[in-house]
Amino acid sequence: MEKMNNKNKIFIDKLRSSGLRPTKQRVEISKFLFNRKKTFHFTVEELKNSMNLKRSKKISTATFYNTVHALKSAGHLKEFSLENNTSYYDTNITSHHHFFDNGKVIDIKSDKITFHKLPDAPKGKKIKNVEVVIRLENNNQ
Amino acid sequence: MEKMNNKNKIFIDKLRSSGLRPTKQRVEISKFLFNRKKTFHFTVEELKNSMNLKRSKKISTATFYNTVHALKSAGHLKEFSLENNTSYYDTNITSHHHFFDNGKVIDIKSDKITFHKLPDAPKGKKIKNVEVVIRLENNNQ
DNA sequence: AACTACTTTATAATAGTTCTAAACTAAGTG
DNA sequence: CACTTAGTTTAGAACTATTATAAAGTAGTT
Ligand SMILES: [Mn+2]
Ligand SMILES: [Mn+2]
Ligand SMILES: [Zn+2]
Ligand SMILES: [Zn+2]
């Protein structure tokens, strides 16, 4: 890539160090995903719509899917599921927990939940991770 | 329904008391789902394939979807999600936890997990339920 | 500048699910 | 019992999220 202003350097490096060519599209998607203070939870379609809204030259659907998969494989995104039939992605790749509040997802830092009792893994298996979902509802009245 | 042998009475009553007409199809599906000792976790397509395999007169896809939705609305099934884009259903409608082992789902009774620390719900919200997923992997070697 | 492997793209294909509207049936009514 | 009707089943179309295809474009190398 010719045009490599400093603002993009960090994302170009991130892509390159993951074995991904820092194409125009990947750099823009990475910047959109990772250039924020708070965790971002999203579906590929949401990502596509919000990024393409402000663009004259649209990025194709396939590229959004390809890039999100590539970033997930590289360990920069985690996938998770809500109750519908859509994959969600999480820019917080650490092991952590969630509040689910009517489709809205909020991170809970790992150390905010600790266990008093946990079952052993079945024979021949071991625990890879433990993740908690706390479902919320509105207070009465 | 004319043919109401005693084996079916319990399922007919279950349907009727939920405001659902005990049709031939619904009774058979209910029997398949609920006439077992252990929790059953399934997708609608899996249910359809395993029930229709042994039938000459097949039950239609739409009826499987309709019936599963009706049973869910009546509170006889719970829906949950794995990492793919498919809805899973659970015949255990109590609040409980799961092991996920490469697509295999195993129930964990609620009292097998207790918490030492849990976050408060955000302002204006309250906790509806807390569910834990313990992901498993094979022991090394 | 020329080359090549990788990437993007438009488009088709697939999978799970929901919708539609016509045929069927459970269950009540006389 | 007929008769009626509201609820149900069904085949098939439609829809949505996602993946596959293969041609055109581009990053990185020489
Ligand atoms: Mn969505
Ligand atoms: Mn499946
Ligand atoms: Zn998160
Ligand atoms: Zn379960």
**pLDDT on residue A5:** 63
What is the topology classification, in CATH, of domain B6-84? Arc Repressor Mutant, subunit A (1.10.10)
The two tokens of residue A71 are 């970033």
Task: List the beta strands (DSSP E) in chain B.
Answer: 41-42, 78-81, 87-90, 97-101, 104-108, 114-117, 125-138
Give the mean pLDDT of B56-69. Answer: 97
Q: With bands split at pLDDT 50, 70 and 90, how would you rate the model's confidence at B102?
A: confident
Q: What is the mean pLDDT of chain B?
A: 93
pLDDT tens-place string over residues A50-95 = 999 989 999 999 999 999 999 999 999 999 998 888 999 999 999 9
DSSP A58: P
Contact yes or no for B118 and A134 at CB 8 A: yes
Beta bridge partners of A133: A98, B131
CA distance B1 to A95: 53
Report CA(B99)–ligand 2 centroid distance (Å). 18
Q: What is the mean pLDDT of chain A?
A: 93
Contact yes or no for A137 and B114 at CB 8 A: no
- pLDDT > 60? residue B4: no
CA distance B72 to B78: 6
pLDDT tens-place string over residues A6-57 = 789 999 999 999 999 999 999 999 999 999 999 999 999 999 999 999 899 9
**Residue intervals in chain A for CATH 1.10.10.10:** 6-84
CA distance A70 to A25: 13
